[in-house]
Amino acid sequence: MEAGTSPESTETTNGAPDGWVGQAIKRKEDPRFITGTGRYIDDMTIPGMLHMAVVRSPEAHAAIVSIDKSEAEAMEGVVAVYTADDLPVEGGIPMVWDPPGVEVNTPEHMPLKSGEVKCVGDPVAVVLGTSKYGVVDAAELVIVEYEPKPVVVDPEAALEEGSPLVWDQFGTNKTHEWALAGGEDVGAAISGADVVVEQRIVNHRTAAAAIECRGCMAEARGDQITLFSSTQIPHITRFLMAGMLGMSEDHIRVVAPDVGGGFGGKLNTYAEEVLVCAISRKLGRPVKWIETRSENMSNTAHGRDQIATITLAAKSDGQVTGVRAKIVSDLGAYFQILTPFIAELGFPVAGGCYKIGGIDLHFTGVFTNKFATDAVRGAGRPEMTHWIEVMMDQLAQRLDMDPLELRRKNFIPTDEFPFTTALDITYDSGDYHGTLDKLLTHLDVDEFRREQAELRERGIHRGLGFSTYVEVCGLAPSRAVGPQGVGLQAAFWESAAVRVHPSGSATVYSGSSPHGQGLDTSFAQIAADRLGISPEQVDVLHGDTNQGPFGWGTYGSRSLSVGGEAIARASERVQAKAKKICAALLEAAPEDIELAGGEFRVRGQPDKTMTMADIAGAAHIPPNELPADIEPGLEETAFYDPENFVFPFGAHACIVDVDTETGKVEVKRWVAVDDCGPAINPMLIDGQVHGGVAHGIGQALYEQVVYDEEGQLVTGSFVDYALPTAAEVPMFETDRQETRSPVNSLGVKGVGEAGTIAATPAVVNAVVDALRPLGIDYLDMPLTPMRIWQAIEEAKGRGEGPRATEQGSDAGPHGRGAAGSGPTHPDGGGVA
Amino acid sequence: MSTVRLRAVVNGEQRESAVDPRLLLVHWLRDELGLTGTHVGCDTSNCGACTCLLDGAAVKSCTVLAVQAEGAELETIEGMGTDADLHPLQAAFREEHGLQCGYCTPGMIMAAEGLLRRNPSPTEEEVKSGLEGNLCRCTGYHNIVKSVITASKHGGRAGSRETEGAQA
């Protein structure tokens, strides 16, 4: 740790009694949003701007025989119609994972397709025109003749001999295999185990589904291009755009305006961003494209879509001795920037919060005729957490043991942190018993069990499920995940520049790119404490490559623990210089200057004080008393690369009622105790947990991206892709514990994805708890009414339920494939 | 292209345009009147980001033709309040942290306004079912529900803020 950055040496008080950090102050972002004066991408126009509409493939796999654009070109208001032949670009969308020693079959991913289309929604032409409605009309007039080819949508079928190939050139649909094992031999643990539980667990395809779709607008002027884009990664986008456009970075500016939610879906560089730039350059006019929701469902990266086969070995007393996971990931037809790495990204928390002797992971990626999967809130960690937390309940059931007792028995003991796992990952800090104990102060399990038994007598099936999760975030130590680590061709430090203005207010430039998290506020709190001013005097700027240093963006719950730490460090450098100036003017030694109560003062001489405004004035208009070796100005920059990840954790409980007549699940109660270290702003933490859990409830119960056997997207809008509404989520009961991380001086860990990571197994465990008396011991998500009803009927058919009938279904609880997309369509959307 | 004359009162001001008969109300508000606080999120009237009030009732302006507003009174987020004089719902959304990315927020506030005009003192359950037509991906709804309840206790109905005070 650098000098001057340890918590002990940081002075953090000013006008707020105990500093601004820790206070639930209201958000700096809110005034524009509540008055309708936010500035999102679709709110922006430039004189002379053209609208772009994309002609997309209705076929999941086909050769393009011909494209006739003459009728569209003749339409009034249409300026141009381009196909791939008309619009050469230097390269396609890059994929940035190149794992040492592993070959990843990586296809070309050009922004416009020529020759063949590989999934529904593939862009084959674009129409440019002066009218927003007109370009959509003209796109309908572009006649594309396709010759359909065989389609494969099931990732397991795609791996079978003789399957249709998505990419002939590779001779297989397998993209790569990646294996990782550590600790004791898992094979030996399994063969020597008292009990072995095994389960195939489908973590289905979902959508990020930010309420704002994607959109972008490019303006080429001279040899400069400005790209405005609804993105989580403006700086990375510029870097990648330079390669795709064959331009120098200094000729490209990327601006992320207000972004209406990301959830991983905007952690990417997309075809349309390249297209608007290339076309604006070609035509010399600004070009804007705004995604429709249907395009968002077909052409913004999906998430999850993994099938895990898990084997858990344990002793008869419940001690888990080894775990093996074989994971097949459906990657779709193309790679977005991180596609093949998403499942693997969760590996540091394989095994969860448990002390497990051996861990053995094997990943297989598969091409199918669907759009790419990539990051969606949690990206790899919800999947890892889901299977270990579901399996702990399975093991508890097998051992006839209380699931919480089993968890406690296997928790990494609090006195063993920092703890190095079987995979040689070091969990920074933790107290898993603490969060579970605290959870149980809010929830009386014995009372619940009495109530549950009573309700069962009356035919009401209520269940209680737990999830005790640990998350890995704070992406990331570059050495661990960069080219010489797991092989990402990137680094993951973060930047901050802190500029104090002559009057004493400040501007903070962050390389993070927040889009709803409230980081303008928490970043201002961090800087304010270190500068001796209030958060209202700190403006936080981000999302513009022409303002502030290069930065890696907002994702992976990294912005506070990496970006916030960079701001703390830059602010402390400013504070150190301010103390030197103050010392010179008050005729004291710099080490005798302290910052307290919003004032810089000489220790022991309370009458000798200066405010930041006084010091900033002197820094900008230096009095002659200031020694010549103090440079004018008051601005510092910091670049921070963490030495380790951070590992937030917590305990969540979910109570559900299941209507066994209709299969409908109602979430009655949610109790969450999370530990993400010391709170910068507790109000924001609660908000992140609420939203994260709702996202997880959505996946567990309603949401699913469904393609049918022909590769047609069944869930092409919010009519079919069912997000939870206010009526479907409970009011949340949240509490916190604060265990410092030793990784950064703030002691903080991320919280943006924690709720989503925690939630799905708690729901599944609760529903299974409710239905176990009916003979149901496992269910795959989403737990739609149809899936649950079928599972109940199938259990009856097996004679395990209270009433055996002839009814049943071949799409049972263990069956592969989709089973409906939500409460609005309980009997539709299946492919089984 | 033949156009149709459209006259409507928008946020208290008489506005008039010649519009394409197929123009959606949301695009009239956003693209012709510059009222970009009303957002488009789904195109199918599922998400409610485009909610505004038409003759006092909440409608999803992405599935209303502009010409259907002929002679009507329209209210959008821009007409609710200003920084200096927030509407009780706007103040409550800030107070209760009822927004994150802000994209659904104008539609949520307008839907809530429609709800409070029908039911000035809703229960938690009534707020939840009343906002069922508006999607939010950020907040998990918890603080949105609290915001509406808070606003209802502080003069949530438009026009009553002078007497009840805007601050939650």
My answer on whether omega of the bond before B168 falls inside 30° of 0, hence cis, is: no
pLDDT > 60? residue A713: yes
Q: Which residues 6+ apart lie within 8 Å of B13 measured at CB? A: none
The partner residue sitting opposite B82, judged by closest CB among A35, A687, A690, is A35
Distance CA A335, CA A483 (A): 18
pLDDT of residue A804: 37
CA count, 13 A, side-chain hemisphere, A537: 22
Using an 8 Å CB-CB cutoff, list chain B residues near A754: none
Q: Chain B contact for A31, CB < 8 A? A: yes
The partner residue sitting opposite B77, judged by closest CB among A35, A686, A687, is A35
Which range among A236-240, A572-576, A683-687, A809-813 shows the weakest confidence by mean pLDDT?
Answer: A809-813
Flag if B127 and A260 touch (Cβ within 8 Å).
no
Domain B88-163 class?
mainly alpha
Helix (H) or strand (E) segment spanning residue A183: strand A174-183
Length of chain A, in residues: 832
In the 8-state DSSP scheme, what is residue A669?
E
- The reported pLDDT for the residue numbered A829 is 36
Contact check, Cβ <8 Å, A293/B143: no
The domain made up of B4-79 is a member of CATH 1.10.10.10: no
- Of B30, B44, B131, nearest to A717 by CB-CB distance is B44
pLDDT beyond 60 at A134: yes
Q: What is the mean pLDDT of chain B?
A: 93
Q: A729 and B141 in contact by Cβ < 8 A?
A: yes
Cis peptide before A88 (omega within 30 of 0): no
Q: Does domain A302-474+644-797 have CATH number 3.30.365.10?
A: yes
Q: Give which of A133, A211, A290, A670 to mutate to test B binding, by max B Cβ within 10 Å.
A: A211
Given a cut of 70, whether residue A89 has pLDDT beyond it is yes
pLDDT digits (tens, 9 = 90+) for A739-783: 999 999 999 999 999 999 999 999 999 999 999 999 999 999 999
| Domains A7-38+493-640 and A302-474+644-797 in one fold | yes
Chain B positions in Cβ-Cβ contact with residue A211 (cut-off 8 Å)? 39, 41-42, 47, 49, 101, 103-104, 135-137
What is the average pLDDT across A158-180? 98
- For the purposes of burial, counting CB atoms within 10 Å of the CB of A109, is it exposed (0-12), middle (13-18) or buried (19 or more)? buried
**Which ipTM did the prediction report?**
0.94
| Nearest chain A CA: its distance from B120 CA (Å) | 19
Q: Where are the domains of chain A?
A: 7-38+493-640, 42-149+213-259+266-299, 302-474+644-797
Does pLDDT of A811 surpass 70?
A: no
Going by CATH, does the domain composed of A42-149+213-259+266-299 fall within 3.40.190.10? Answer: no
pLDDT at A342: 97
Q: What percent of chain A has pLDDT over 70?
A: 94
Mean pLDDT (whole number) for B38-60? 97
| φ, ψ (nearest 5 deg) of residue A563 | -65, -40
Identity of the residue in A34, A293, A515 whose CB atom sits nearest the CB atom of B44: A293
Q: Cβ–Cβ of B101/A723 closer than 8 Å?
A: no
* CA distance, residue A547 to nearest chain B CA (Å): 22
SS3 for A106? coil
Which among B30, B94, B136 has CB closest to A26?
B94
Residues 6+ positions from A507 with CB-CB distance below 8 Å: A498, A499, A501, A538, A539, A540, A541
Q: What is the pLDDT of residue A682?
A: 98
Using CA coordinates, name the residue in chain B closest to A721.
B46
- For A:219-258, CB contacts with B below 8 A are 258
Contact: B140, A755; criterion CB under 8 Å? yes
A305 to chain B, minimum CA–CA distance in Å? 20
CATH 3.30.365.10 given to domain A7-38+493-640: yes
State the best of B103, B128, B139, B147 to mutate against chain A, taking most chain A CBs within 10 Å. Answer: B103
Task: Give percent above pLDDT 90 in chain A.
Answer: 93
Helices A403-410, A381-399: axis angle to 10 degrees equals: 120
If one counts every other C-beta atom within 10 angstroms of the C-beta of residue A162, the result is 6
Q: Mind giving me the DSSP string for A431-487?
A: -HHHHHHHHHHH--HHHHHHHHHHHHHTT-EEEEEEEEEE--BS---HHHHSTTTT-
CB pairs under 8 A between A and B: 182
> A29 in contact with B at a CB cutoff of 8 Å?
yes
Residue of B nearest to A257 (CA): B101
Q: Given B104, B105, B129, which is nearest A727 (Cβ)?
A: B129
Nearest by CB: A211 against B49, B95, B141? B49
Domain boundaries defined on chain B: 4-79, 88-163
pLDDT in the model for residue A88: 82
Cβ-based contacts of B101 with chain A (< 8 Å): 210-212, 258-261, 515-516
**Does B46 contact A691 at a Cβ distance shorter than 8 Å?**
no
Which of B42, B99, B131 lies closest to A34 in CB terms?
A: B99
Nearest Cβ partner of A726 from B40, B95, B144? Answer: B144
**Among A118, A110, A692, A153, which residue's Cα sits nearest to residue A376?**
A692
Instruction: Give the span between the Cα atoms of A560 and A545, in whole angstroms.
Output: 20
pLDDT at A300 over 60: yes
Sheet of A506-510: strands edge to edge? A538-541, A506-510, A494-500, A635-640
pLDDT band at A91, cuts 50/70/90?
confident
Distance (Å, rounded) from C-alpha B151 to C-alpha A654?
29
Chain B nearest-CA residue for A514:
B101
- Residues with Cβ < 8 Å from A80, sequence gap 6 or more? A73, A127, A128, A279, A283
Residues of A in contact with B128 (CB under 8 A): 726-727
Q: How many whole angstroms separate alpha carbon B5 and alpha carbon B17?
A: 6
Q: Is the model's pLDDT at A798 over the cut of 90?
A: no
Question: In chain B, what are the helix, strand and coil shares in percent, each to the nearest 5?
Answer: 40, 15, 45
Q: Which residue has the higher pLDDT, A425 or A6?
A: A425
B98 to chain A: nearest residue by CA? A687
B148 in Cβ contact with B89 (< 8 Å): yes
How many CA atoms are closer than 13 Å to the CA of A391, on its beta-carbon side?
Answer: 34
Average pLDDT over residues A161-181: 98
Contacts of A46 in chain B (CB under 8 A): none
Report the residue of B100, B109, B136, B149 to disrupt the A interface, i.e. the one with the largest count of A CBs within 10 Å: B100
